[in-house]
Amino acid sequence: MKVEMDDIDDLTICDSVSSLIEGCRLPVHMTGTNDWPLAEIISIKDVASSKYYYVHYVDFNKRLDEWVTEESLDTRKVHFPRKDTGGCSTGVSTPKKLQIGGGSGSVACPASGGGGGGGGGGGSGIIAASGGVANLPSGGGVVSRPASPVNNVELLNGNAVLAAALQKRINRKRKGPSLESEDSQDAPQGLTPGPRQSGSMVSHHDDIVTRMKNIELIELGKHRIKPWYFAPYPQEMVNLDCIYICEFCLKYRKSRKCLERHLAKCNLRHPPGNEIYRKDNISFFEIDGRKNKVYAQNLCLLAKLFLDHKTLYYDTDPFLFYIMTVLDIRGFHIVGYFSKEKESTEDYNVACILTMPPYQRKGYGKLLIEFSYELSKFEGKTGSPEKPLSDLGLLSYRSYWAQTILEILLSMKPIGENEKPQITINEICELTSIKKEDVISTLQNLNLINYYKGQYIITLSKETIESQLKAMESRKIRIDPKCLHWTPKDWGKRAKW
Ligand SMILES: [Zn+2]
């Protein structure tokens, strides 16, 4: 892994914090830890004669970015941004993309060289990664980007981003269908959607505005959640202590009072659309991005708070949204969702995928993934998630692929006596709907493929088998295909979605 630092000048002794500017890199005390990792100053603001610094920890995910005060800065070791990149008042240097751990390239390249595995014969291979899940470098997928110092405070809000997006689209001189806007709040974007560039439209506004979190806190049902990333909520929603979101229709309000007024009128107790799956308290609702545009847009806005790269706010028409909920006496509460293109030319079966933070690390992410492959099985094809995956998304997928494939391998019976069970890669794909590339990379990651007497064989060690059985035990909730009531539509045959 190579990190280019060519936009950074040599180490400079900094006599006081007053000489710090945006783009400087220095050790910063990370809140809640005893660590002082290298961080970049993204923005500086004065509030009541105190200076606040918005910092990005260079080797960590952006979700850890935060405002700190002077005391958290170690000014003995400051790297100033290089002067010849255009100067700090005008220079918007070209964002550099750095791929770490296959974050934006192929999904599951071997985590640490791996490969080969040595020509083990017989029944036991050597497994490199215990537990069957390859590890990512911490904060994998974090991209090192130079600062783009824009000192204009006017730009520091969502509306400016939207205006910029609109301008970009006008410049492209391409027209799309207008939004149906019930009222300005429900369709805050108020923009004419432009052409999609990819399934979920990767963000192109890699600037100071979108690099900074702009929402303090959201209240969603009984949860209060701290956002991780920027989301283009309208300006009047930014800089509030908290945004109050109706957990059923996802409309947002400025205060609890406003939300209470809304709840008195809002009759929804579940996401709009059809409930296509229910088992125990878990349900899935299918939402058409064209028919339920306001809901879909509000969902995308909410999701953007927790997804760094994927941004899709305007043109929800080409997508279906699958919302996973848990049911209690108050209603169906959103746990997570994934979006999916109605037609994908590249066999993507998921565009964006998110488990809401209060429900993370409880097995729901894998349940969402399992459901997406169940839909692909019903469609009779293989699929793969759209890239780039987030760091957490990649971990979940790798773990899901490993478990699913090992489950199949362990269930195989030998055909005859003294015969070893046989299966082809294609058969694994057919059984799981996992795309061939992902199957192969998973087998490689797990170091299961060996070349023996002229053919490739899969060897399972005791350790692999044991860790797999353990993993299966901990996965208590599973998707039951019998509870899915759904027929795939052939969107290609329709003139319009
Ligand atoms: Zn509502």
CA 159 – ligand 1 centroid, Å: 24
CA separation for the pair 43, 61 (Å, rounded): 17
What's the rounded Cα separation, in Å, for the pair 188 and 162? 10
User: How far does CA 342 lie from the centroid of its chain?
Assistant: 20
Taking 90 as the threshold, does the pLDDT of residue 7 lie above it? no
Catalytic pick from 22, 386, 437, 463? 386
Q: For residue 13, what pLDDT band results from cuts at 50, 70 and 90?
A: low
CA angle 272, 276, 281 (to 5 degrees): 90
Q: Please report the pLDDT score of residue 15 as a whole number.
A: 60
pLDDT tens-digit map of 466-496: 988 888 888 889 999 999 999 998 887 765 5
**C-alpha torsion 488→489→490→495, nearest 10:** -170
Question: What strands, in cross-sheet order, belong to the sheet with 50-57?
Answer: 8-12, 78-81, 25-27, 38-47, 50-57, 66-69
Question: What digits encode the pLDDT tens for the residues 244-289?
Answer: 999 999 999 999 999 999 999 999 999 999 999 999 999 999 999 9
Q: Is 275 a catalytic residue?
A: no
Centroid of ligand 1 to alpha carbon of 268 (angstroms): 6
pLDDT at 494: 61
**Which segment of 223-232, 306-315, 323-332 scores lowest on mean pLDDT?**
306-315
Sign for the CA dihedral angle at 486, 492, 495, 497 comes to positive
pLDDT at position 182: 32
* Omega before 388 within 30 of 0, i.e. cis: yes
Q: Considering only 44-48, 91-95, 121-125, 324-328, which range has the smallest mean pLDDT? A: 121-125
**What spacing in Å lies between the alpha carbon of 265 and ligand 1's midpoint?**
8
Burial class (CB in 10 A: 0-12, 13-18, 19+), 406: buried
Backbone dihedral angles phi then psi of residue 56, each to the nearest 5 degrees = -115, 125
The confidence score (pLDDT) of residue 33 equals 94
153 and 230 in contact (C-beta within 8 Å)?
A: no
Distance 220 CA to ligand 1 centre (A): 11
Tell me the three state secondary structure of residue 493. helix
Asked whether 208 and 186 are in contact (CB, 8 A), the reply is no
Amino acid 107: pLDDT: 26
C-alpha dihedral, 165 to 167 to 168 to 169, nearest 10°: 90
Q: What is the mean pLDDT of the chain?
A: 77
CA dist 345 and 352 (Å) reads: 16
The percent of residues in the chain predicted with pLDDT above 70, rounded, is 70
**C-alpha 387, offset from chain centre:** 10
Please list, residue by residue across 325-353, b when 16 or more beta carbons sit within 10 angstroms of its beta carbon and e when fewer do: beeeeeebbbbbbbbbbbebeeebbbbbb
Average pLDDT of span 297-309:
92
Q: How confident is the model at residue 142 (pLDDT cuts 50, 70, 90)?
A: very low
Residue 320's closest CA among 155, 199, 195, 202?
199
H or E stretch at 166: helix 158-172
Ligand 1 centre from 243 Cα, in Å?
Answer: 14
CA–centroid distance, residue 106 to ligand 1 (Å): 40
Q: Is the pLDDT of residue 127 over 60?
A: no
Which residue's entry shows tokens 């470098």?
Answer: 137
Give me the mean pLDDT over the 294-300 stretch.
95
Residue 227 Cα, ligand 1 centroid: separation in angstroms? 20
Residue 106 has pLDDT above 70, yes or no: no
| Most confident by average pLDDT, 75-89, 148-162, 390-404 | 390-404
pLDDT for 104 beyond 50: no
Query: How much is the average pLDDT of 299-308?
Result: 94
For residue 488, the Cα-to-chain-centroid distance in whole angstroms is 25
| C-alpha to C-alpha distance for 273 and 285, rounded to whole angstroms | 6
Residue type, 3: V
Confidence check: pLDDT of 152 > 60: no
User: How many angstroms is it from 269 CA to the middle of ligand 1?
Assistant: 8
Rounded CA-CA distance 496/219 in Å is 37
Q: Is the pTM of this model over 0.75?
A: no
Q: Average pLDDT of 458-463? A: 87
pLDDT-derived band at 310 (thresholds 50, 70, 90) equals low
Which string of b and e fits 50-78 if b means at least 16 CB within 10 Å?
Answer: eeebbbbbbebbbbbbbbbeeebbebeeb
Note the Cα 177 to chain centre separation in Å: 27
Asked if pLDDT for residue 12 goes beyond 70, the answer is no
The pLDDT confidence band at residue 456, using thresholds 50, 70 and 90, is: confident
φ, ψ of residue 223 to 5 degrees: the values are -100, 140
Read off the pLDDT band of 421 (50, 70, 90): confident
* The pLDDT value given to residue 431: 97
Q: How many CB atoms lie within 10 A of CB 144?
A: 18
pLDDT-derived band at 4 (thresholds 50, 70, 90) equals: very low
* Pick from 249, 156, 165, 250: nearest CA to 201: 165
The pLDDT > 90 percentage for the chain reads: 54
Distance 224 CA to ligand 1 centre (A): 17
Summarize the confidence of residues 237-242 as an average pLDDT. 92
Q: Report DSSP state, residue 325.
A: E
